[in-house]
Amino acid sequence: MAGPFADKEIVLGVTGSIAAYKACEIASRLVEGGARVTAVLTKNAQQFVGPASFEAITGRRTITGMFERLETPEIEHISLARRANLFLIAPATANSIAKAAHGIADDWLSTTLLATRAPVLFAPAMNTHMYQHAATQANIQTLKARGCYFVGPGSGALACGEIGEGRLIDPPAILEAANILLCEKKDLAGKKVLITSGATHEPLDPVRFIGNRSSGKMGRMLALEALRRGASVTVVSGPAHVPLPYDAAVINVKTAQEMLEAVKERFAEADIFIAAAAVADYRIDNPAEEKHKRNGEALTLSLTPNPDIAAYAGIQKRPGQITVGFAAETHDLIAYAEEKLAKKNLDMIVANQVGGENCAFGSDTAWAWLLTPGNPPEQLHLIAKEELTGRIFDAVAALL
């Protein structure tokens, strides 16, 4: 089955938190993403959720007790511990974290955690004071030092009526963390990737702007792929419709000038720079400080060219630094892309055909070509954006 979790064997440990019901959604998304999921409910978790829901979602027997007679040998704990690609404990209570930190093995989940060599990802959920307690923090540090991973917790209103840190972080963040951990190719480990993403909005007055169309999907997927492959990622993002990965450092900007300033501050330390933003080519000369009133007369705007951020990168780059840009064109794609590659002194251009049915904007697929100086364009045909980002970083890694 295709998807971000294709063919992965995942053990989903659910412990006794009020957030246990959210584990159903997590299980469902993992299965949708192609994973084979075995849910394990601790005794306390069963006070909040039942095995039947997880069995319906995963199509597998849910494990509820240490000594139950298992129908299928593949979920016998040592065998599953061996085969699992990931142990995800969501929600993870203070107690389950404490037991894992101290090697206590008194039920199926804690026993199997000791037996597995698979990565273990905890998504904590508890009261703020319990989370901040020195004992819990020390347990988390112990587990991290041993190579376990944590995602969250989030902040907000807690079931106990308090507001603070301790909420189970939203399922999309948990799935994203699992996706990053499950990627075996870590060829960008230690590399710093800087990405521009989204559109820019150039103000006309305090309520109006001119700008390009951009969902920010490509920037998001590039950031996620770089994280999966081990890079640390910074995204300078203009306005966009999709959230950026939780593990990326995000600098939000509005205008092209702000985007350039943010890039200037971070460019020198980046190993790889990718200009994926749809930057508005012009800005309005003198944006009004007050809202423009409609008076029935024609309005003429005077526009000034915006700085070219990709070209800035092309001028500034030092040996070994890789710069990548995009070219989205309705016609003469390759010719324009080649011109941009040379003019902006980039190491690679991803050329996208726009317009028509599989228009690059907002779509999940793109017609794409990869162009590098001195080589014939590599045609990737109609490709899912997720796969495209993989191909882009394969090409970037080859250039490094």
Helix, strand, coil shares of the chain, percent, nearest 5, are 35, 25, 40
Please tell me whether residue 261 binds ligand CTP under the rule CB under 6 A. no
- Per the structure block, which two tokens stand in for 127? 């009261």
Q: Which stretch binds ligand CTP (CB under 6 A): 82-90, 143-151, 234-242, 326-334?
A: 326-334
Q: Which stretch binds ligand CTP (CB under 6 A): 177-185, 186-194, 234-242, 303-311?
A: 303-311
Question: Which C-beta is closer to ligand CTP: that of 166 or that of 325?
Answer: 325
Per-residue contact flags (x/-) with ligand CTP for residues 41 to 80, judged by CB under 6 A: ----------------------------------------
By CB under 6 A, name the one of 93, 232, 306, 323 that touches ligand CTP: 306
Contacts of 374 (CB under 8 A, 6+ apart): none
Residue 310: CB minimum distance to ligand CTP, A: 4
Question: Which C-beta is closer to ligand CTP: that of 117 or that of 331?
Answer: 331
Tokens 């985007």, located at residue: 259
Tell how strand 149-150 and strand 120-124 pair up: parallel
Tell how strand 154-157 and strand 149-150 pair up: unpaired
CA distance readout (Å), 191 to 41, 234, 322: 39, 11, 11
By CB under 6 A, name the one of 327, 368, 370, 371 that touches ligand CTP: 327
Residue 261: CB minimum distance to ligand CTP, A: 13
Please tell me whether residue 310 binds ligand CTP under the rule CB under 6 A. yes
For residue 242, the Cα-to-chain-centroid distance in whole angstroms is: 11
Please tell me whether residue 326 binds ligand CTP under the rule CB under 6 A. yes
By CB under 6 A, name the one of 168, 308, 370, 388 that touches ligand CTP: 308
Please tell me whether residue 309 binds ligand CTP under the rule CB under 6 A. yes
Please tell me whether residue 325 binds ligand CTP under the rule CB under 6 A. yes
Cβ count within 10 A of residue 227: 22
Cβ count within 10 A of residue 220: 25
Alpha helices in the chain (DSSP H): 22-32, 51-58, 77-83, 94-102, 108-115, 128-132, 134-145, 171-182, 217-228, 256-267, 309-316, 333-343, 385-399
Q: Which stretch binds ligand CTP (CB under 6 A): 47-55, 124-132, 163-171, 324-332?
A: 324-332
Known catalytic membership, residue 160: yes
Nearest to 125 by CA among 167, 182, 83, 159: 167
CA distance 209 to 263: 22
Please tell me whether residue 139 binds ligand CTP under the rule CB under 6 A. no
CA distance 194 to 140: 30
167 touches 154 (CB < 8 A): yes
Residue 325: CB minimum distance to ligand CTP, A: 3
Question: Which C-beta is closer to ligand CTP: that of 14 or that of 275?
Answer: 275
Residue 395: CB minimum distance to ligand CTP, A: 15
CA distance 339 to 193: 25
CA distance readout (Å), 37 to 63, 70, 173, 241, 292: 11, 16, 18, 31, 57
Q: Exactly one of 148, 160, 183, 359 is catalytic; which is it?
A: 160
Please tell me whether residue 279 binds ligand CTP under the rule CB under 6 A. yes
Burial of 1 (0-12, 13-18, 19+ CB in 10 A): exposed
Question: Which C-beta is closer to ligand CTP: that of 175 or that of 275?
Answer: 275
Question: Which C-beta is closer to ligand CTP: that of 58 or that of 353?
Answer: 353
Per-residue contact flags (x/-) with ligand CTP for residues 5 to 34, judged by CB under 6 A: ------------------------------
Please tell me whether residue 348 binds ligand CTP under the rule CB under 6 A. no
Please tell me whether residue 256 binds ligand CTP under the rule CB under 6 A. yes
Please tell me whether residue 201 binds ligand CTP under the rule CB under 6 A. no
Residue 346: CB minimum distance to ligand CTP, A: 8
User: Interface with ligand CTP by CB under 6 A: which residues?
Assistant: 196, 256, 275-277, 279, 281, 306, 308-310, 325-328, 340
- The set of catalytic residues is 160
